[in-house]
Amino acid sequence: MTTIALIRHGSTSWNKEGRAQGNSDISLDQEGIAQAELLANRLRKEEWNHIYSSSLARAKQTAVIIGDAIGEKVNLEDRLKERAGGLIEGTTEQERLQKWGEKWRELDLGIEPIEDVQKRANQFLEEIHQKHPGEKVVVVSHGALAQFTFAFLFPDYPSQHFDNTSLTILKKINNQWTCQLHNCTQHLKDGSI
C-alpha cells in the first residue's frame, strides 16, 4: 500500500493578486515560505521515504523546505507542473473580462485541457504506486493539478479548491485510491498564519 501526501505549494504574490500562474515560474512570497515551514514541521514528525515536486519555483521551493525537514532529496517531475494557462497567464479575472469578454472560458486561448492534466498526473501517481510499494511519498504540486487529479480519482467527491500548503493523503488499497485526509491546513492554524 503506497501512501501519497499530495501538497499544494505555498502562497505567492500572484495568488494574492488573483493572477493565473499556470507555467509562469513564480516564487513563493514570505507568507508562502512561512506556510511551507509550518507544513515541514508537521511532516517531520512522521517518516517519509521520498519527495517529488513540480519543477516550477513555487512548488520546488516548498518541496526543498519539506525535504530538508524530512531528510529527503527532492526529485523534480515535469508532469507535476501546473495546468498551462496559455494567454491568460499573468492576468486577473477582471483583465480577462476586459480583454476577451464574459465568455473568455469558451475561447481558444491556449489553456491546457483538463483531461490532459488529469492524464499526466494520473500516469505519475500510478508510476509512483508501482515504483514505491508500501512506502510514503510526498508530492508537491499546484492547485489546479491537485483539484483536477482529485476529481478524476474521486468523481463523486464534491469539487473543491485546494488551499496553499494543504495536505491531502491518498492511499491505494486493493487497486483502489482512497482519501484519508483532504485539503487539510491545520498546520497553518496551529502556527497562527
Range of the domain at 180: 3-190
Q: What is the mean pLDDT of the chain?
A: 95
Number of domains, the chain: 1
> The domain that contains 26 carries what CATH number?
3.40.50.1240
| Residues annotated catalytic, as ranges | 9, 142
pTM for this entry: 0.95
The answer, yes or no, to whether residue 102 has pLDDT greater than 60, is: yes
Tens digits of residue pLDDT in 18-70: 999 999 999 999 999 999 999 999 999 999 999 999 999 999 999 999 999 99
Alpha carbons 38 and 20: distance in angstroms, whole number = 25
Structure confidence at residue 192 (pLDDT): 61
Q: What is the mean pLDDT of residues 103-113?
A: 95
